[in-house]
Chains A and B, each alone.
Chain A
């Protein structure tokens, strides 16, 4: 067994151990810590699988937005944690749940084990047309060109999610502010970090979006890092989130899908079909769409994490 095989097997066992621990933990806080660690190990696994785009997404979402979201859920659930833990379902229900989980796990394992070798792939076709699009990263080509309709709908789903969260606001708070209040005296070290980190984060995010055309990276990863920067400023209580009735906030939320849709409809007129890019214009249009999608993702994710407005508009 070579060193790299030993490393891969060790990594896989670690991921399994941390995953098992996260499920078995009885305390919500402890299982969130386990889950954050699991996400970090998973991004290492993606790098070992040469799926660096996915590793970047896991790193940006898993260690930024997801951790904060889960912790705020734990804080909100703290009052009900003890009664919920005391309540144990009956034997029959637990046996049924175990049986269902086993069936799902066995089906997934069967699908993985029964895959044809070598697997069916469209990778050569995807690689063939990269030149016409002017992008070097096949992942970006798939997301923004070959199956751009899916990508656009995914961004619409994010907006629907924000509408769903906002709809939980009470009537009096509609249009108001969500998230932590501005602190009278922010904690020194945290305030320092929250002032120093965002400029660096913005540079890294722009770098990741920009190289996304040719190297691993892209709008979602960059947007997730920007969203994390917004969250650290909110967590340090340096400022409050904008009121949700603000026009600029709503424009930022819809900018990405809107630009995508406009380019798509323009495709009817010039090349002749929805979401088709005119020859020679693919690269600039892809960059335009990516830029606005980054903005929308950066605005959407923090609004999802901080939840519905809990104070009325001023």
Chain B
């Protein structure tokens, strides 16, 4: 059972790390700011989400698990708001460059 849980953790965290890498590559390689914003939000959502998911079975008790989920929810809230604000700021500047 323990081995199964550990494999789950390793798979989920590796997938999360891949999303962080994808987000960074997107931020560096995508042609304009709107597409780069798209890459950023994927890393925020799924990268951290998968890492939190992978860490949940390793958490110390219910409170530790709840804190992990709370961290993810708060980052979601921040990420969604920031994406909106950045898109607005970009639109004020005019068409995508």
Contacts and interface: CB of A to CB of B under 8 A. Distances in A.
Touching in the complex, A and B, CB below 8 A?
Answer: yes
Contacts of B88: 187, 189
Interface residues of B, number: 8
Nearest to A191: B81
B74 interface: yes
Interface string B42-86: 000000000000000000000000000000001001101100110
Contacts of A188: 84
A197 interface: yes
Contact of A196 (B77, B84, B85): B77
Contacts of B74: 200
A287 interface: no
Interface string A195-216: 0110010000000000000000
Contacts of B80: 189
Nearest to A200: B74
Q: Which of A188, A189, A190, A197 has the most CB of B within 10 A?
A: A189
A196 B80 CA distance: 13
Interface in B15-54: none
Interface string A178-190: 0000000001111
A65 to B, nearest CB: 17
B5 to A, nearest CB: 21
Contacts of B78: 193
A192 interface: yes
A187 B85 contact: yes
B68 to A, nearest CB: 14
A75 to B, nearest CB: 14
A197 B80 CA distance: 13
A44 to B, nearest CB: 15
B87 to A, nearest CB: 9
B95 to A, nearest CB: 21
A192 B82 CA distance: 12
Nearest to A194: B81
A74 to B, nearest CB: 15
A190 B77 contact: no
B85 A189 contact: yes
Contacts of A197: 77
A189 B88 CA distance: 10
A51 B91 CA distance: 43
Contacts of A187: 85, 88
B37 to A, nearest CB: 13
Nearest to A196: B77
18 contacts: A187-B85, A187-B88, A188-B84, A189-B80, A189-B81, A189-B84, A189-B85, A189-B88, A190-B81, A190-B84, A190-B85, A192-B81, A193-B77, A193-B78, A193-B81, A196-B77, A197-B77, A200-B74
Interface of B: 74, 77-78, 80-81, 84-85, 88
The 7 closest A-B pairs by CB, nearest first: A189-B84, A193-B81, A189-B81, A189-B85, A190-B85, A190-B81, A193-B77
